[in-house]
Amino acid sequence: MIPIAKPMLGKEEIDAVTEVLSSGMIAQGPKVEEFELAFSEYTGCEYAAAVSSGTAALHIALLAHGIGKGDEVITSPFSFIATANSILYTGAKPVFADIESDTYNIDPERIQEKITPKTRAIMPVHLYGHSADMKAIMEIADDNNLIVIEDACQSHGAECLGKKVGSFGTGAFSFYPTKNMTTSEGGMLTTDDKEIAEKAKMIRAHGSKVRYMHEILGFNLRMTDIAAVIGLVQLGKLDRFTAARQKNAEILSAGLKGIAGIVSPVTKTNCTHVFHQYTVRAEKRDQLAAFLKEKEIGTGVYYPIPIHKQPIYRELEYRDFLPVSEKAAEEVLSLPIHPTLSSDDLQEIVKATREFYLRD
C-alpha cells in the first residue's frame, strides 16, 4: 500500500530524543526555547511560542489578541474543524466566507461581504500548502482595523510575495505526524508583536510568567523538550522535504496532464506551494478513490464535509449556503505526495489514475 502520508523520522530524531530522555529534563525546558528561536528565524518572525498542538496555537493566538464573547472572526469553511473550533473555544463566533475555486483558500471578496461592526479578526487558512491571498487579506484587514491570524498548520515554509506564511499576522503551525514536519504532537505560534508573544507564553502555562504567580487565566498547553528536539531535527530537513514534495508534484502533474476528468492543483503567481497535499478535482471522485484503493494506493478527502455543515455547527444554527466549498467537498481528492515516495510509486499513481478514466 502506498500511504497517503508518512512521517520521515530517522536516526537523528531518535538520537536527539534519547539524549533528552537521558538528561532527565523532559518537560518544557531549554530545547523548547531553542526550537522557538530556530522556528522564528525560519519564518522570518521576531517571536515564536511552542505549544502542544496546532489547535492550541490557534486558540492561544485568539486569546492573546483578546478575542472572545461578542466578537466575530471570519474564516474558511473548507478546512479541518480545528480552525473554526478554536474560535468557538473563546466564546467568539466563527463567520464563514466562501473559498476560491482554484486554490480552495478563503476568497477575499467573500470576506468583505461578511464584515460587521462585531468583526474583530480574519483567520485565513493556507490550505494544502498554498498561501491564501495575503495581499488582498492584509489590505482588507488594514482598511477595517482587523487582526489577522493565519492558520498555517499545513504550510510550513510556503511563501506569498516573498514572505513566509505565518509572518503576515499572528501565525499558527501544527507539527502533527502527517504535516510537512513533525514533533509527534505539537504546534507553534509566530508573531512580530512582543506583547502577543509574551501573552501567548503565559496562556500556555496557566497565565504565569513568574512561578506560582498567575496574572491571567491560562491553560496547560506546553510543548515538551522531547517534542522540541524532534522539531529541531525536522526543521533542519524541512527545505529538503519541501523540495521533494514539489518535485513529486511536478511528476504527478506532468503524468496527469490531459486527463479530462482531473483538474491538477495550481500555484499562483507570487506564491510557492509546499504541497502538504496534492489535491485534484476529480470527476467520479469516490469511484476513483475506490479504484486506487484496489490498486493499493491510499488517497484522502480533505474535507468531505465543510465546517458549516458539520453536525455541531448545524446544532449551533449555522445555515450558510457556501456553494464553492460545498462543491469542492464533493470533488477533491488528495493523492500521495510525501517525500518517502519512490519514482515507481509516482508512476503507479499516474498509471492507475489514467487507467480509471480510460476504462470507460
Ligand X SMILES: *Cc1c(COP(=O)(O)O)cnc(C)c1O
- Interface map 148-167 toward ligand X (x if CB under 6 A): ---x-xx-------------
The smaller minimum CB distance to ligand X, of residues 59 and 110, is found at 59
What is the CB neighbour count within 10 angstroms for residue 301? 16
Distance CA 313, CA 155 (A): 26
Distance CA 220, CA 206 (A): 6
What is the SS3 assignment for 187? Answer: strand
Cell numbers placing 257: 496532464
Distance CA 293, CA 297 (A): 5
Distance CA 252, CA 255 (A): 5
Q: Which stretch binds ligand X (CB under 6 A): 14-22, 26-34, 77-85, 100-108?
A: 77-85
Min dist CB 53 to ligand X, Å, is 3
DSSP conformational letter for 253 = H
Under the criterion CB under 6 A, does residue 75 sit at the interface with ligand X?
no
Under the criterion CB under 6 A, does residue 55 sit at the interface with ligand X?
yes
Cβ–Cβ < 8 Å for 275, 253 = no
Count the site residues for ligand X by CB under 6 A: 14
Cβ–Cβ < 8 Å for 156, 175 = no
Closest CA to 282 of 269, 300, 297: 300
What is the footprint of ligand X within residues 176-195 (CB under 6 A)? 176, 187
Tell me, what amino acid is at 45? Answer: C
Min dist CB 283 to ligand X, Å, is 26
Min dist CB 271 to ligand X, Å, is 17
Per DSSP bridges, beta strands 119-123 and 72-75 are parallel
Cell numbers placing 287: 469511484
Q: Which residues pair with 332 in a beta bridge?
A: 281
The smaller minimum CB distance to ligand X, of residues 48 and 346, is found at 48
Min dist CB 90 to ligand X, Å, is 15
Per DSSP bridges, beta strands 170-174 and 163-164 are unpaired
Min dist CB 194 to ligand X, Å, is 25
The smaller minimum CB distance to ligand X, of residues 174 and 353, is found at 174
Closest CA to 333 of 301, 355, 305: 301
Min dist CB 208 to ligand X, Å, is 23
The smaller minimum CB distance to ligand X, of residues 171 and 187, is found at 187
What is the CB neighbour count within 10 angstroms for residue 265? 24
Under the criterion CB under 6 A, does residue 332 sit at the interface with ligand X?
no
The smaller minimum CB distance to ligand X, of residues 184 and 253, is found at 184
The smaller minimum CB distance to ligand X, of residues 40 and 53, is found at 53
Residue in 75, 90, 174, 180 binding ligand X, rule: CB under 6 A: 174
The smaller minimum CB distance to ligand X, of residues 60 and 352, is found at 60
Min dist CB 302 to ligand X, Å, is 8
Under the criterion CB under 6 A, does residue 279 sit at the interface with ligand X?
no
Number of residues that this document lists for the chain: 360
The smaller minimum CB distance to ligand X, of residues 140 and 172, is found at 172
Under the criterion CB under 6 A, does residue 168 sit at the interface with ligand X?
no
Under the criterion CB under 6 A, does residue 303 sit at the interface with ligand X?
no
The smaller minimum CB distance to ligand X, of residues 252 and 307, is found at 307
Distance CA 249, CA 349 (A): 12
The C-alpha angle 57, 58, 63, rounded to 5 degrees, equals 95
Under the criterion CB under 6 A, does residue 99 sit at the interface with ligand X?
no
Residues contributing to the site for ligand X (CB under 6 A):
53-55, 79-80, 82-83, 125, 151, 153-154, 174, 176, 187
